[in-house]
Amino acid sequence: MTNNAKYTSQITTVSRSLVFALFFLTYFPVRALSANTHCAENALPNPVEKSKMKELPLTILPVTEDNGLPMVFFISGDGGWIKTDKAVSKLLNEHGMPVVGLNALKYFWKGKTPDGSAAEFSKIISHYMQHWNRHSFILVGYSFGASVVPFIATRLNEQLKSSLKGVYCFSPEEKGNFKIRLSDFLYRKYGGKYKVLPELKKITRVTPVCAFGKGEDKNIRKHFLPSSGLRIVILPGKHHYDDKFARVANVILNDFQVN
Protein backbone atom coordinates (compact mmCIF):
# COMPACT_ATOMS: atom_id res chain seq x y z
CA MET A 1 0.00 0.00 0.00
CA THR A 2 1.39 3.45 -0.93
CA ASN A 3 1.82 6.22 1.62
CA ASN A 4 -1.05 8.10 0.00
CA ALA A 5 -3.32 5.05 0.27
CA LYS A 6 -2.39 4.55 3.93
CA TYR A 7 -3.04 8.22 4.62
CA THR A 8 -6.44 8.04 2.89
CA SER A 9 -7.35 4.93 4.91
CA GLN A 10 -6.42 6.68 8.16
CA ILE A 11 -8.48 9.71 7.23
CA THR A 12 -11.47 7.48 6.43
CA THR A 13 -11.23 5.73 9.80
CA VAL A 14 -10.95 9.03 11.69
CA SER A 15 -13.88 10.46 9.73
CA ARG A 16 -16.05 7.47 10.58
CA SER A 17 -15.11 7.82 14.24
CA LEU A 18 -15.99 11.52 14.25
CA VAL A 19 -19.31 10.84 12.52
CA PHE A 20 -20.18 8.20 15.09
CA ALA A 21 -19.15 10.46 17.98
CA LEU A 22 -21.41 13.23 16.68
CA PHE A 23 -24.20 10.69 16.16
CA PHE A 24 -23.77 9.39 19.71
CA LEU A 25 -23.84 12.84 21.30
CA THR A 26 -26.88 13.84 19.27
CA TYR A 27 -28.79 10.62 19.69
CA PHE A 28 -28.19 9.89 23.36
CA PRO A 29 -29.28 12.51 25.90
CA VAL A 30 -26.90 12.96 28.81
CA ARG A 31 -29.66 12.29 31.32
CA ALA A 32 -30.71 8.76 30.42
CA LEU A 33 -31.28 6.40 27.54
CA SER A 34 -35.00 6.71 28.10
CA ALA A 35 -35.43 10.35 27.15
CA ASN A 36 -37.53 9.57 24.07
CA THR A 37 -39.30 6.57 25.59
CA HIS A 38 -43.07 6.49 25.23
CA CYS A 39 -44.88 4.29 27.70
CA ALA A 40 -48.50 4.06 28.81
CA GLU A 41 -49.27 5.51 32.22
CA ASN A 42 -51.03 2.36 33.34
CA ALA A 43 -48.03 0.04 33.69
CA LEU A 44 -47.40 -3.04 35.79
CA PRO A 45 -48.98 -2.93 39.26
CA ASN A 46 -45.65 -3.48 41.01
CA PRO A 47 -44.15 0.03 41.55
CA VAL A 48 -40.62 -1.28 40.97
CA GLU A 49 -41.58 -2.93 37.67
CA LYS A 50 -43.52 0.16 36.66
CA SER A 51 -40.46 2.31 37.20
CA LYS A 52 -38.24 -0.07 35.22
CA MET A 53 -40.67 -0.15 32.30
CA LYS A 54 -40.72 3.63 32.05
CA GLU A 55 -36.94 3.58 31.66
CA LEU A 56 -37.02 1.26 28.66
CA PRO A 57 -36.71 2.72 25.14
CA LEU A 58 -40.19 1.76 23.98
CA THR A 59 -42.46 3.25 21.34
CA ILE A 60 -46.11 2.50 22.03
CA LEU A 61 -48.68 2.50 19.21
CA PRO A 62 -52.14 1.58 20.53
CA VAL A 63 -55.33 1.09 18.54
CA THR A 64 -58.84 2.14 19.49
CA GLU A 65 -60.70 -0.83 18.03
CA ASP A 66 -60.70 -4.27 19.65
CA ASN A 67 -60.46 -6.25 16.40
CA GLY A 68 -58.91 -9.44 17.72
CA LEU A 69 -55.64 -8.96 15.83
CA PRO A 70 -52.44 -9.89 17.66
CA MET A 71 -50.22 -7.39 19.39
CA VAL A 72 -46.82 -6.75 17.80
CA PHE A 73 -43.57 -6.72 19.75
CA PHE A 74 -41.06 -5.19 17.32
CA ILE A 75 -37.29 -5.07 17.90
CA SER A 76 -35.51 -2.52 15.72
CA GLY A 77 -32.23 -2.65 13.86
CA ASP A 78 -28.99 -1.45 15.42
CA GLY A 79 -29.56 2.03 14.02
CA GLY A 80 -32.40 2.51 16.50
CA TRP A 81 -36.07 3.28 15.97
CA ILE A 82 -35.69 4.99 12.61
CA LYS A 83 -36.84 4.80 9.00
CA THR A 84 -37.62 1.14 8.27
CA ASP A 85 -38.74 0.25 11.79
CA LYS A 86 -40.98 3.32 12.05
CA ALA A 87 -42.54 2.87 8.63
CA VAL A 88 -43.35 -0.83 8.97
CA SER A 89 -44.71 -0.54 12.52
CA LYS A 90 -46.81 2.46 11.49
CA LEU A 91 -48.38 0.45 8.66
CA LEU A 92 -49.11 -2.49 10.95
CA ASN A 93 -50.68 -0.11 13.44
CA GLU A 94 -52.79 1.61 10.78
CA HIS A 95 -54.20 -1.80 9.88
CA GLY A 96 -55.32 -2.47 13.43
CA MET A 97 -52.34 -4.04 15.16
CA PRO A 98 -51.19 -2.46 18.44
CA VAL A 99 -47.40 -2.18 18.51
CA VAL A 100 -44.77 -2.13 21.22
CA GLY A 101 -41.49 -1.15 19.59
CA LEU A 102 -38.08 -1.55 21.21
CA ASN A 103 -35.17 0.68 20.21
CA ALA A 104 -32.37 -1.88 19.94
CA LEU A 105 -29.62 0.74 19.76
CA LYS A 106 -30.50 2.09 23.18
CA TYR A 107 -31.50 -1.16 24.84
CA PHE A 108 -28.51 -3.23 23.70
CA TRP A 109 -25.94 -0.45 24.03
CA LYS A 110 -24.98 -2.14 27.27
CA GLY A 111 -24.63 -5.86 26.71
CA LYS A 112 -27.55 -8.12 27.54
CA THR A 113 -28.09 -11.88 27.62
CA PRO A 114 -30.77 -13.93 25.84
CA ASP A 115 -32.22 -15.09 29.17
CA GLY A 116 -32.23 -11.63 30.72
CA SER A 117 -33.76 -9.97 27.67
CA ALA A 118 -36.43 -12.66 27.32
CA ALA A 119 -37.41 -12.25 30.97
CA GLU A 120 -37.70 -8.47 30.59
CA PHE A 121 -39.58 -8.64 27.29
CA SER A 122 -41.98 -11.24 28.69
CA LYS A 123 -43.09 -8.77 31.35
CA ILE A 124 -43.62 -6.05 28.74
CA ILE A 125 -45.56 -8.36 26.43
CA SER A 126 -47.73 -9.71 29.25
CA HIS A 127 -48.52 -6.23 30.47
CA TYR A 128 -49.57 -4.79 27.14
CA MET A 129 -51.55 -7.87 26.16
CA GLN A 130 -53.54 -7.41 29.35
CA HIS A 131 -53.70 -3.62 29.02
CA TRP A 132 -55.02 -3.84 25.44
CA ASN A 133 -57.10 -6.98 26.03
CA ARG A 134 -55.19 -8.98 23.42
CA HIS A 135 -55.04 -12.75 23.55
CA SER A 136 -52.17 -13.22 21.11
CA PHE A 137 -49.01 -11.51 19.89
CA ILE A 138 -46.27 -11.78 17.28
CA LEU A 139 -42.54 -11.15 17.45
CA VAL A 140 -41.01 -9.02 14.70
CA GLY A 141 -37.37 -8.10 14.27
CA TYR A 142 -35.49 -6.09 11.67
CA SER A 143 -31.74 -6.53 10.97
CA PHE A 144 -30.09 -6.64 14.43
CA GLY A 145 -33.52 -7.28 15.96
CA ALA A 146 -34.20 -10.11 13.50
CA SER A 147 -31.22 -11.99 14.92
CA VAL A 148 -32.45 -11.42 18.48
CA VAL A 149 -36.10 -12.43 18.05
CA PRO A 150 -35.53 -16.22 17.77
CA PHE A 151 -33.78 -16.28 21.15
CA ILE A 152 -36.73 -14.50 22.73
CA ALA A 153 -39.28 -16.86 21.18
CA THR A 154 -37.57 -19.95 22.60
CA ARG A 155 -37.30 -18.49 26.10
CA LEU A 156 -40.90 -17.41 26.67
CA ASN A 157 -42.85 -19.12 29.42
CA GLU A 158 -45.42 -21.71 28.37
CA GLN A 159 -48.35 -19.33 28.71
CA LEU A 160 -46.79 -16.78 26.37
CA LYS A 161 -45.63 -19.48 23.95
CA SER A 162 -49.24 -20.60 23.59
CA SER A 163 -50.20 -17.00 22.72
CA LEU A 164 -47.41 -16.54 20.16
CA LYS A 165 -48.90 -16.49 16.64
CA GLY A 166 -45.92 -15.54 14.53
CA VAL A 167 -42.16 -14.96 14.40
CA TYR A 168 -40.96 -12.61 11.65
CA CYS A 169 -37.27 -11.99 11.01
CA PHE A 170 -36.50 -9.34 8.40
CA SER A 171 -32.88 -9.63 7.21
CA PRO A 172 -31.37 -11.68 10.03
CA GLU A 173 -27.66 -12.46 10.18
CA GLU A 174 -26.15 -15.92 10.45
CA LYS A 175 -25.07 -15.02 13.99
CA GLY A 176 -26.70 -12.54 16.34
CA ASN A 177 -25.50 -10.41 19.20
CA PHE A 178 -26.96 -8.93 22.36
CA LYS A 179 -24.69 -5.92 22.41
CA ILE A 180 -24.29 -3.02 20.00
CA ARG A 181 -20.69 -2.86 18.80
CA LEU A 182 -18.82 0.15 17.43
CA SER A 183 -17.25 -1.98 14.71
CA ASP A 184 -20.71 -2.59 13.23
CA PHE A 185 -21.06 1.15 12.65
CA LEU A 186 -17.51 2.04 11.72
CA TYR A 187 -16.51 -0.90 9.56
CA ARG A 188 -19.83 -2.51 8.64
CA LYS A 189 -18.73 -5.83 10.11
CA TYR A 190 -21.73 -7.69 11.44
CA GLY A 191 -22.28 -10.91 13.29
CA GLY A 192 -22.07 -12.21 16.83
CA LYS A 193 -21.62 -15.34 18.86
CA TYR A 194 -25.24 -16.58 18.89
CA LYS A 195 -26.13 -18.86 15.95
CA VAL A 196 -29.53 -17.82 14.64
CA LEU A 197 -30.58 -20.79 12.48
CA PRO A 198 -30.34 -23.47 15.22
CA GLU A 199 -32.48 -21.25 17.43
CA LEU A 200 -35.08 -20.81 14.70
CA LYS A 201 -35.28 -24.59 14.36
CA LYS A 202 -36.31 -24.82 18.02
CA ILE A 203 -39.49 -22.83 17.30
CA THR A 204 -42.18 -25.42 16.61
CA ARG A 205 -45.54 -23.86 17.46
CA VAL A 206 -45.39 -21.49 14.50
CA THR A 207 -43.39 -21.49 11.26
CA PRO A 208 -40.78 -18.72 11.50
CA VAL A 209 -40.68 -16.32 8.56
CA CYS A 210 -37.33 -14.99 7.30
CA ALA A 211 -37.41 -12.21 4.71
CA PHE A 212 -34.53 -10.74 2.73
CA GLY A 213 -34.05 -8.11 0.08
CA LYS A 214 -33.32 -9.66 -3.31
CA GLY A 215 -30.07 -7.73 -3.49
CA GLU A 216 -28.82 -8.67 -0.03
CA ASP A 217 -25.73 -10.79 0.55
CA LYS A 218 -26.41 -14.28 -0.80
CA ASN A 219 -23.75 -15.69 1.51
CA ILE A 220 -26.10 -14.89 4.39
CA ARG A 221 -29.31 -15.89 2.63
CA LYS A 222 -27.97 -19.33 1.75
CA HIS A 223 -28.10 -20.35 5.42
CA PHE A 224 -31.85 -19.76 5.63
CA LEU A 225 -33.76 -22.33 3.58
CA PRO A 226 -37.31 -23.73 3.56
CA SER A 227 -35.79 -27.15 4.25
CA SER A 228 -34.87 -25.79 7.68
CA GLY A 229 -38.55 -25.46 8.56
CA LEU A 230 -38.72 -21.78 7.66
CA ARG A 231 -40.87 -19.74 5.31
CA ILE A 232 -38.59 -17.64 3.14
CA VAL A 233 -39.77 -14.40 1.56
CA ILE A 234 -37.76 -12.38 -0.96
CA LEU A 235 -38.51 -8.65 -1.05
CA PRO A 236 -37.40 -5.92 -3.49
CA GLY A 237 -34.07 -4.18 -3.15
CA LYS A 238 -31.35 -4.61 -0.58
CA HIS A 239 -31.34 -4.11 3.19
CA HIS A 240 -34.02 -1.40 3.17
CA TYR A 241 -36.14 -3.11 0.50
CA ASP A 242 -36.09 -0.07 -1.81
CA ASP A 243 -38.34 1.62 0.77
CA LYS A 244 -41.23 -0.62 -0.31
CA PHE A 245 -42.49 -0.72 3.25
CA ALA A 246 -46.02 -1.78 2.33
CA ARG A 247 -44.54 -4.95 0.83
CA VAL A 248 -42.73 -5.59 4.10
CA ALA A 249 -45.82 -5.01 6.24
CA ASN A 250 -47.90 -7.22 3.94
CA VAL A 251 -45.69 -10.21 4.76
CA ILE A 252 -47.30 -10.01 8.19
CA LEU A 253 -50.73 -8.59 7.37
CA ASN A 254 -51.48 -11.23 4.75
CA ASP A 255 -51.01 -13.96 7.35
CA PHE A 256 -53.89 -12.49 9.33
CA GLN A 257 -56.13 -11.74 6.33
CA VAL A 258 -55.80 -7.98 6.83
CA ASN A 259 -56.39 -5.89 3.70
At residue 91, the pLDDT reads: 98
From residue 132, alpha-carbon distances to 97, 121, 127, 142, 257 in Å are: 11, 16, 9, 24, 21
Question: Taking 60 as the threshold, does the pLDDT of residue 118 lie above it?
Answer: yes
pLDDT (0 to 100) of residue 192: 76
Backbone angles phi, psi at 178, to 5 degrees: -120, 30
**Looking at residue 186, what is its pLDDT?**
62
- Domain range 33-256, CATH class: alpha beta
Q: What is the pLDDT of residue 5?
A: 47
Reduce the DSSP state of residue 194 to 3 states and report it: strand
In the predicted model, what is the mean pLDDT of residues 61-90?
95
Q: What pLDDT does residue 63 have?
A: 95
Query: Which of 76 and 36 is assigned the larger pLDDT?
Result: 76
pLDDT tens profile 13-52:
444 444 444 444 444 443 333 333 444 433 344 544 555 6
So what's the pLDDT on residue 65? 86
Distance of CA 19 to the CA centre of its chain: 24
Domain locations in the chain?
1-30, 33-256
Say what the pLDDT of residue 29 is: 40
Task: Give the pLDDT score at 134.
Answer: 96
Give the residue among 130, 128, 57 at the shortest CA–CA distance from 98: 128
Which tens digits make up the pLDDT trace of 155-213?
Answer: 999 999 999 999 999 999 999 999 988 776 565 565 678 999 999 999 999 999 999 99
- The DSSP letter of residue 38 is -
- Enumerate residues 6+ apart whose C-beta is below 8 A from 108: 78, 144, 148, 177, 178, 179, 180
- CA 90 to CA 84: how far, in whole Å? 10
Judged by DSSP in three states, 191 sits in coil
DSSP codes, 123-156: HHHHHHHHHTT-S-EEEEEETHHHHHHHHHHTTS
Position 64 pLDDT exceeds 80: yes
Nearest to 234 by CA among 247, 253, 246, 219: 247
Task: Give the residue-averaged pLDDT of 103-132.
Answer: 96
For 78-109, what is each residue's pLDDT tens digit?
999 999 999 999 999 999 999 999 999 999 99
Identify which has the larger pLDDT, 97 or 5. Answer: 97
pLDDT on residue 189: 61
Would you say residue 144 has pLDDT above 90?
A: yes
pLDDT in tens, 204-244: 999 999 999 999 988 888 889 888 899 999 999 999 999 99
Residue 241: the pLDDT is: 96
